[in-house]
Amino acid sequence: MATAVTPEAVEKVVFDALPQFGAEPSEITREASFEELDVDSLDLAELSQIIEDEFGVQLKGDDVGKIKTVGDAVDMVVSRAG
Amino acid sequence: MPRPEGAVALVTGASKGIGAAIAQALAADGWHVAVNYRSDEAGANAIVSAIEDAGGRAVALHGDIANGAVDGLFTKAEDALGGPVLALVNNAGVRADNLAIQIDDADWDNVLNTNLSAAFRLTKRSLKPMLRARYGRIVNVASVVGPRANAGQANYAAAKAGLIGLTKTVSHEVARRGITVNAVAPGFIETDMTKDMLDDVVKAIPARRAGQPEEVAAAVRFLASDDAAYVTGTTLFVDGGMSA
């Protein structure tokens, strides 16, 4: 059963996942860009998998390409779930 | 990083020939092996028995990879063997030989779909557990045909050359996650698939003999091993010198 998609729930999953890709926990904010966090395209593809497993929301390659910041990612997942 | 305990290797088209030899070689190296087959259930079961008799673990898995049996294969392999699929050997292949001018759309599509598109779909699916584990081995069974011309096999050559291109590109995408992607390119190997080919072929092989499935399997076994952790994106020819 997938977790209900709320901005808070998505934010938590994204924030919790990012350190495994090498992001510094203290630098993870909604405004932080993935570039600053040193999170690359393969990391984002993996993050998409984690989100899909957790929320049942599928992000397409095009979607992932538009995401620049942590907040963008959270908003994209919430909007795709709606 | 060493191979995680209980890792599963999925070998497509493993009920006979090169695939069967690969399944046995990987099992001998400690992989738990999912022996995929499309139609030869008895062959697949015999390979599983041989692996078990030698002290290994294996399961026979039915599934036509050209017709969508991708996700189910991984789930069934992981359920039956109790570990993640961390090695994928895209071995299943078909031939429908003819001069290009006589290859119809169905024979083009069938060869491309089984030999190349299915390998891509399986590769894509396999990256999920491999990325998670930060470990993976993908070995694509290509062919000396593709890098080299072979009149009468335009569809097969295109698919196998495509497989080598796929190998190289995916290897770059995932190298930093401990996943290697390589190809082996068999030359003329004695199997059911080649038994109708002319003896004349042997004269064109520097080694003056056909290869054995076990000789291809040994190359796959190496590429899937921890010893080959720094080998990625390459094609290892097992062809008695044909391509040199």
pLDDT the model gives residue B46 = 98
d(CA B137, CA B3): 10
> How many CA atoms within 13 Å lie on the side-chain side of B208?
0
Question: Which band of pLDDT confidence, cut at 50, 70 and 90, is reported for residue A80?
Answer: confident
**DSSP structure class, residue B194:** G
**Chain B: residue nearest A49 by CA?**
B128
Best residue in A20, A40, A44, A46 for a mutation probing chain B (most B CBs within 10 Å): A46
Residue A49: which of B128, B176, B177 has the nearest Cβ? Answer: B128
Confirm whether A1 is domain-assigned. Answer: no
How far, in Å, CA of B46 to CA of B34, rounded? 13
Q: What is the average pLDDT score of chain B? A: 95
Q: Could you read off the pLDDT of B63-100 as tens digits, one per residue?
A: 999 987 788 999 999 999 999 999 999 999 999 999 99
CA-to-CA distance for B113 and B57, rounded, in angstroms? 30
Six token digits for residue B162 = 């495509």
pLDDT tens for each residue of B123-174: 999 999 999 999 999 999 999 999 999 999 999 999 999 999 999 999 999 9
ipTM of this complex: 0.82
Q: Please state at what angle helix B213-223 crosses helix B17-28, rounded to 10 degrees.
A: 50
Q: Is residue B185 part of a domain?
A: yes
Confidence band, pLDDT 50/70/90 cuts, at residue A51: very high
Alpha-carbon distance of B100 to B187, in angstroms, equals: 21
How confident is the model at residue B2, as a pLDDT?
93
Distance from C-alpha of B217 to C-alpha of B18, rounded to nearest angstrom: 7
Is residue B36 domain-resident?
Answer: yes
A64: pLDDT strictly greater than 90:
no
Mean pLDDT of A69-76: 94
**pLDDT at residue A8, as a whole number:** 93
In a domain, B32, yes or no: yes
Look up the domain containing B70 and give its range: 8-237
DSSP B97: -
Specify burial of residue B15 (Cβ count, 10 A radius: 0-12, 13-18, 19+).
buried
What's the pLDDT at B69? 77
To the nearest whole angstrom, how far is the Cα of B171 from the nearest Cα of chain A? 12
Residue A14: count of CB within 10 angstroms of its CB = 20
Distances (CA, A) of A33 to A12, A40, B104, B202: 17, 11, 51, 60
Instruction: Take residue B226 and report the two structure tokens written for it.
Output: 């921890």
Residue A1: the pLDDT is 57
Residue % of chain A over a pLDDT of 90: 76
Mean pLDDT throughout B185-191? Answer: 93
HSE-CB of B92 using CA atoms within 13 angstroms: 32
Number of Cβ within a 10 Å radius of residue A25: 9
Within a domain: A25: yes
CATH of the domain at A34: 1.10.1200.10
State the DSSP code for A71: H
Residue spans of alpha helices (H) in chain A: 7-17, 41-55, 61-66, 70-81
Say if B3 falls within a structural domain: no
The whole-number average pLDDT for the span B234-242 is 97
* pTM, two decimal places: 0.93
Grouping H, G, I as helix, E, B as strand and the rest as coil, residue B184 is strand
pLDDT of residue B203: 86
Q: What is the CATH number of the domain that holds B162?
A: 3.40.50.720
Q: What is the mean pLDDT of residues B25-54?
A: 98
Determine, for residues A42 and B128 on separate chains, whether the beta-carbon distance falls below 8 Å.
no
Domain encompassing residue A58: 7-81
Structure tokens at B93: 């292949």
pLDDT in tens, B8-33: 999 999 999 999 999 999 999 999 99
Task: Tell me if A22 is assigned to some domain.
Answer: yes
Domain count for chain A:
1
Q: Is residue B244 part of a domain?
A: no
Residue that the structure tokens 């995680």 belong to: B4
Distances (CA, A) of A7 to A54, A63, A69, B20: 14, 17, 15, 50
Question: How far does A18 lie from chain B, in Å, by closest CA?
Answer: 14
Give the whole-number percent of chain B exceeding pLDDT 90: 91
Strand order in the sheet with B235-238: B58-62, B32-37, B8-11, B85-90, B136-141, B179-186, B235-238
Given B37, B135, B156, B230, the catalytic residue? B156
Contact B119, B90 (CB under 8 A): yes
Query: Average pLDDT of B170-184?
Result: 97
- Judged by a CB distance cut-off of 8 A, whether residue B175 touches chain A is no
Radius of gyration from C-alpha coordinates of chain B: 17
